[in-house]
Structure formats: structure tokens, C-alpha cells
Amino acid sequence: MVQKTDKIWFDGKLVPWDEANVHVLTHTLHYGVGVFEGIRSYKTVDGKSAVFRLPEHVERLFDSAAIMEMKVPYSEDIVNKAIIETLTVNGLSEGYIRPLIFIGDGAMGVHPGKNPIRVAIATWAWGAYLGEEALRKGIRIKTSTFTRHHVNVMMTKAKVCGNYVNSVLAKVEALADGYDEALMLDTAGYVSEGSGENVFIVRKGIIKTPPLTSILAGITRETVIELARSLGYQVVEERFTRDEMYSADEAFFTGTAAELTPIREVDRRRIGKGEAGPVALNLQKEYFKVVTGANPDYAKYLTYYTV
Ligand SMILES: Cc1[nH+]cc(COP(=O)(O)O)c(CN[C@@H](CCC(=O)O)C(=O)O)c1O
């Protein structure tokens, strides 16, 4: 159950959590056209708090809206400020931030007509997405029977609500089969991403991740690539197959919610020694230094605030 906070920013006003409601004929509820973001803020080593890569997340939110031809009634600057305001009014020194832009009620039918475009920002405390043990020991995943969208079936660079029906199908199947997460292949059969994460493998010291084709252009993915290269790792963006993953020395997921979660097993096959690998754990350690302001080279990615 999500941990309630006092206020949600809704169409320009801070309203009590339990009053942030919509009509049952809200267009997005029926037809799935809405866009959202997942953003995290962290307590920083100097006793403050900072949102990680706030401008980049809000930029992607607006890019998603533009791809879906949704005219957002607020500027990026107003949404940036509203996110900080919502965190502070809720007293969240660290937490998860969920901006959502959706099509309200009015006309029904596939075409959204002149229904209003509405904006909400919720914030709450959200610990390790796949569990604390997952961060330490790695997770077991299975290749999903559901394929990631073809790039002309859904707009995969946009974080669209409806895109996540595919993710829900994959995640529900994976957990029902006793795994921790799903690995999704693209329509050509190559490894794409997790239900809510980007994926990396490590083989003979070289880090590999799928190129930006059917996958969401993850901000954590981009950060980890930059961080890994700064640490001297060779990183290639190249598509790979599931059996290349089976014979990898290491594998890991990245995402705002998942942070950097090692993968120890894929389809019942141990990856490397069947535990969280040294490269993954080193990058995870360095990533947490970056998001908590302990690495001054990445101060550019932190938007500070105080509660
Ligand atoms: C499909 C998908 N791929 C990759 C990523 C990683 O993107 P980024 O966060 O920019 O590094 C996410 C984020 N998934 C978000 C939603 C999770 C949820 O359960 O909801 C998240 O991590 O916040 C995805 O949903």
C-alpha cells in the first residue's frame, strides 16, 4: 500500500490526498492516454535533500506529452517548482515523485475531443523497488512470454500509461511463476528491457546495454553509462540475445525506482556465480554516492531543497 502524504498538487492547487479524485468517465481511465514520470529525491550527505535529475525527468514528461499530442496547461518551470513544493509541503526529505498528465472527462469515445488536460503530482516514501535484499543479493528473472512493443505499435520513447499494460502482463506472469521480475524481448527477439527497468550485462569486463530502440530512454541508464565510463569501464550500446545474457558474467537492472539492482539468475540459469556481481555492486555503490551528493562531479544532477 502506498504511504499517504498530506497533499497532492492537482491542476495548480495543493489538495488533501483523499480529495485528489477524478470522475469515472475520465478519458485516460478508459483509453490509456496519459503520460507520467518516476522521479526520486534523496537525503544528501550535507544534511539537505535533492531531487535527482529533476529537469531531465520533467523534460521527458513534456516530450511524452508532445508525442501524444497533449497540450500541457503549465510550463516545465511551473511543474519543476510544483514538484519541489509538493515534496516540502509533505515534509519528505527523500521520496518518490509521480507526476501524471492525463485527459479528463467530458466527451467519451476514442477521440479525446476537447476534454481537459489535467496535471497531478503525488509524492510518497518508497524504499527499494524490488526489496532491500534484491539490491544486496540480486534477483531472479524470467524471459516474459509477452513481447515489448513494436516501435510503431506504441510510442516506446514516451512514458505512456497505456504502455504499461504490456509491463503489467509481464510482471504479473513473472511473479506468478515465482520470479522477481520479467525480462522482455523486442519484436525481433532481442533483449529489450524489464517491465519497469533498463537492462545491462557484463562480459569479460565489457558492459553492454540495448540501444534506444524499443526501450524507454532511461535516465538512470544514461547516468550509469556516464558513471561507468568515468570509472574506466568500456560500455557499448548494442543489442544482444537472451543466450548472450545466459553466458554473461553479470547482469543488472537500472531505473529510478529500481536504482541499480543486480540480476543473479535468468530463466533458471545462474549468471556468473549466481550472485550480485562485483561490477554491478561497484556501480551501485558509486550510483548511491552520486544521488546523495557524495560525488561532486555529479552535483549538476541535483536540485536541492530543504524540509
Ligand atoms: C519500461 C521502463 N524502462 C526503463 C525505465 C527506467 O527509466 P528511468 O527511471 O528514467 O531510469 C522505467 C522506469 N520505471 C519507472 C516506473 C516504475 C513503476 O513501477 O511505476 C520508475 O523506475 O520510476 C520503465 O518504466
| Ligand 1 atom 15, closest CA | 38
pLDDT per residue as tens digits for the range 262-298: 999 999 999 999 999 999 999 999 999 999 999 999 9
In a domain, 226, yes or no: yes
Cell of 259: 536504482
| Ligand 1 atom 4, closest CA | 197
pLDDT per residue as tens digits for the range 82-117: 999 999 999 999 999 999 999 999 999 999 999 999
ipTM, two decimals: 0.99
**Over residues 157-181, mean pLDDT:** 98
In a domain, 107, yes or no: yes
**160 plus 80 within the same structural domain:** no
CATH code of the domain in which 205 resides: 3.20.10.10
**114 plus 136 within the same structural domain:** no
Q: Does any ligand 1 atom lie closer than 6 A to the CB of residue 40?
A: no
**Over residues 50-69, mean pLDDT:** 98
Cell of 134: 534484491
pLDDT per residue as tens digits for the range 211-257: 999 999 999 999 999 999 999 999 999 999 999 999 999 999 999 99
**83 plus 165 within the same structural domain:** no
pLDDT of residue 81: 98
**120 plus 32 within the same structural domain:** yes
**145 plus 114 within the same structural domain:** no
| Ligand 1 atom 1, closest CA | 196
Residue carrying the nine cell digits 560525488: 295
**141 plus 216 within the same structural domain:** yes
Q: Examine the pLDDT at 2 and tell me if it is beyond 90.
A: yes
**112 plus 191 within the same structural domain:** no
Q: DSSP labels for 111-167?
A: S-TTPPEEEEEEEE----TT-HHHHHH-EEEEE-SSPPPPTTTS-TTS-BGGGHHHH
pLDDT of residue 127: 87
- Helical segments of the chain, H only: 27-31, 54-67, 76-89, 132-137, 164-176, 219-230, 242-246, 278-291
Q: Are 267 and 143 in contact (CB under 8 A)?
A: yes
C-alpha 226/C-alpha 235 separation (Å) is: 9
Q: Does any ligand 1 atom lie closer than 6 A to the CB of residue 255?
A: yes
Q: Are 50 and 293 in contact (CB under 8 A)?
A: yes
**207 plus 265 within the same structural domain:** yes
**141 plus 260 within the same structural domain:** yes
- Which of 124, 145, 175 represents a domain boundary (last residue)? 124
Query: Which one is catalytic: 4, 43, 48, 159?
Result: 159
Considering the entire predicted model, what is its pTM? 0.98
In a domain, 32, yes or no: yes
Question: Which amino acid, one-letter code, is at 172?
Answer: V
pLDDT of residue 197: 98
Q: Can you state the angle between helices 219-230 and 278-291, rounded to 10 degrees?
A: 110
β-strand partners of 103 = 117
More confident site: 217 or 127:
217
Q: Does any ligand 1 atom lie closer than 6 A to the CB of residue 198?
A: yes
**26 plus 118 within the same structural domain:** yes
- Residues with Cβ within 8 Å of residue 99, at least 6 apart in sequence: 36, 37, 39, 58, 61, 79, 83, 119, 120, 121
Question: Which amino acid, one-letter code, is at 113?
Answer: G
CATH code of the domain in which 43 resides: 3.30.470.10
Q: Does any ligand 1 atom lie closer than 6 A to the CB of residue 221?
A: yes
Q: Are 265 and 140 in contact (CB under 8 A)?
A: yes
Instruction: Measure 106 CA to ligand 1 centroid, in angstroms.
Output: 30
In a domain, 153, yes or no: yes
**Over residues 200-218, mean pLDDT:** 97
Question: Is 176 in a helix, a strand, or coil?
Answer: helix
Number of domains in the chain: 2
Mean pLDDT of the chain: 97
In angstroms, the Cα distances linking 250 to 53, 64, 92, 140, 210 are: 27, 32, 35, 12, 15
User: What ligand 1 atom has the least distance to the C-alpha of 219?
Assistant: 10
Cell of 26: 475520465
Q: Which domain holds residue 166?
A: 132-291
